[in-house]
């Protein structure tokens, strides 16, 4: 009797465990099936979070098919591999192609938004071809229908009018409300075309994340870069602007262009930033440095928010995003805008 009871209990436990495991497998399979499919074009690091500071948890090899769970932001996809491992990979087309579109975790279809700074409603998702329909004042409530590209949302106003507005967080608050009333004369969209051009440059540079460093790299290829070749390529890809081929000539070009600034706090996103040679990690190592006579040995793109996009050595891993702090701040000579 005791033996029979023990067998029954053991059988029930095994059945429960099997059912649970099957449920988990089915759930995982359903999740994978509901996700979009990504094809890895070139081997890419799988990271623990959507940032270059995220730890590398594996390498997803070229030719691998993965499930795309979400587009976390403009730069990262959250994916799941065939063995169930999840993590984040670069959204660059160099590394992954995705079947169909992916909704971002903010600003997706049907999301509400409120205008927080006067913004133009346009007929097309472009500053150059989109005609201004009207100015949307601060406090205007919108429904986001889709993100048409990196720079424009397609939206619908409360009175049913549709059009396109800038995706910049300067103009829209995604979700929530703004309590202050719309002003009678809302502030206009300022330097929208410059801002959008800068974003194009940064996006063009980010697609080369991880591209190997080579001193004196070939200016006619994109397989490797040195610092000046990289910033030159970003501006060439994004805007068709061909900068001088080396950092010192680029620095002279910026000064001659009349946009040189010597205060880090005055830099704007998209500015080229120039540096002296590395002399140590302390500020005292750079005391008395004259930015106008010191030899330029490095150039990068300032991204805003204390970040620089650059490449500077084989050991560093090629094109990358770094904090503009420590020795970089001490080595800084001047910077300036390519655009006016």
Q: Residue 340: pLDDT above 80?
A: no
Instruction: Give the mean pLDDT of 233-244.
Output: 93
**pLDDT, averaged across the chain:** 80
Q: Is there a single domain that holds both residue 23 and residue 45? A: no
Instruction: Give the mean pLDDT of 97-121.
Output: 67
Q: Is there a single domain that holds both residue 228 and residue 280? A: yes
Going by pLDDT thresholds of 50, 70 and 90, the confidence category of residue 5 is low
Contact 213, 225 (CB under 8 A): yes
Q: Is there a single domain that holds both residue 7 and residue 59? A: no
More confidently predicted of 54 and 105: 54
Q: Is there a single domain that holds both residue 319 and residue 206? A: yes
Q: Could you tell me the CATH number of the domain that includes residue 215?
A: 3.90.1720.10
Domain around 142? 111-189
69, 103, 137: which is the final residue of a domain? 103
What is the pLDDT at residue 23?
39
Q: Is there a single domain that holds both residue 275 and residue 233? A: yes
Backbone φ, ψ for residue 14 (5° rounding): -65, -40
Contact 264, 324 (CB under 8 A): yes
Q: Could you tell me the CATH number of the domain that includes residue 148?
A: 2.30.30.40
Q: Is there a single domain that holds both residue 162 and residue 96? A: no
Give me the number of domains the chain comprises. 4
Q: Residue 267: pLDDT above 70?
A: yes
Instruction: Give the mean pLDDT of 23-43.
Output: 57
Q: Is there a single domain that holds both residue 226 and residue 309? A: yes
Tell me how many degrees the CA angle 336-337-340 measures, rounded to the nearest 5. Answer: 140
More confidently predicted of 328 and 184: 328
Q: Residue 221: pLDDT above 90?
A: yes
| Cβ contacts of 224 within 8 Å, gap of 6 or more | 211, 212, 213, 214, 217, 218, 318
- Nearest-angstrom CA–CA distance, 115 and 87: 34
Q: Is there a single domain that holds both residue 236 and residue 309? A: yes
Q: Is there a single domain that holds both residue 134 and residue 10? A: no
161, 189, 217: which is the final residue of a domain? 189
Q: Is there a single domain that holds both residue 249 and residue 323? A: yes
- Nearest-angstrom CA–CA distance, 189 and 195: 10
Q: Is the pTM of this model over 0.85?
A: no
Q: Is there a single domain that holds both residue 211 and residue 242? A: yes
More confidently predicted of 50 and 105: 50
Residue 207: how many other CB atoms lie within 10 Å: 19
Q: Residue 100: pLDDT above 60?
A: no
Q: Is there a single domain that holds both residue 40 and residue 115? A: no
């Amino acid at each position: 009797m005791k033996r029979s009871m023990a067998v029954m209990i053991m059988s029930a436990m095994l059945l429960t465990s099997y059912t649970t495991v099957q449920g988990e497998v089915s759930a995982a399979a359903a999740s994978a099936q509901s996700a979009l499919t990504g094809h890895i074009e070139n081997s890419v690091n799988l990271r623990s979070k959507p940032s270059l500071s995220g730890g590398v948890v594996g390498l997803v090899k070229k030719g691998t098919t993965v499930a795309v769970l979400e587009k976390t932001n403009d730069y990262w996809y959250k994916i799941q591999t065939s063995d169930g491992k999840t993590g984040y990979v670069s959204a660059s087309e160099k590394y992954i192609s995705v079947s169909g579109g992916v909704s971002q975790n903010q600003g997706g279809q049907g999301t509400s938004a409120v205008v927080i700074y006067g913004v133009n409603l346009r007929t097309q998702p472009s500053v150059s071809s989109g005609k201004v329909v009207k100015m949307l004042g601060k406090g205007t409530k919108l429904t986001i229908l889709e993100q048409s590209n990196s720079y424009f949302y397609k939206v619908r106003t409360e009175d049913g009018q549709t059009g396109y507005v800038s995706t910049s967080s300067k103009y829209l608050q995604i979700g929530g409300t703004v309590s202050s009333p719309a002003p009678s004369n809302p502030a206009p969209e300022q330097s929208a075309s410059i801002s959008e051009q800068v974003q194009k440059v940064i996006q063009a540079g980010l697609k080369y994340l991880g591209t190997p460093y080579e001193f004196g790299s070939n200016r006619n290829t994109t397989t490797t870069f040195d610092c000046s070749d990289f910033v030159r390529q970003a501006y060439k890809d994004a805007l068709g602007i061909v900068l001088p081929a080396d950092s010192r000539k680029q620095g002279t070009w910026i000064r001659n262009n009349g946009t040189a600034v010597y205060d880090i706090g005055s830099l704007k996103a998209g500015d080229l930033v120039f540096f002296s040679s590395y002399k140590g990690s302390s500020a005292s190592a750079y005391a008395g440095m004259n930015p106008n006579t010191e030899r330029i040995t490095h150039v990068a793109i300032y991204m805003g928010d204390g970040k620089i996009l650059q490449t500077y050595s084989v050991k560093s891993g090629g094109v990358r995003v770094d904090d503009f702090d420590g020795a970089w701040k001490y080595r800084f000579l001047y910077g300036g805008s390519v655009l006016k």
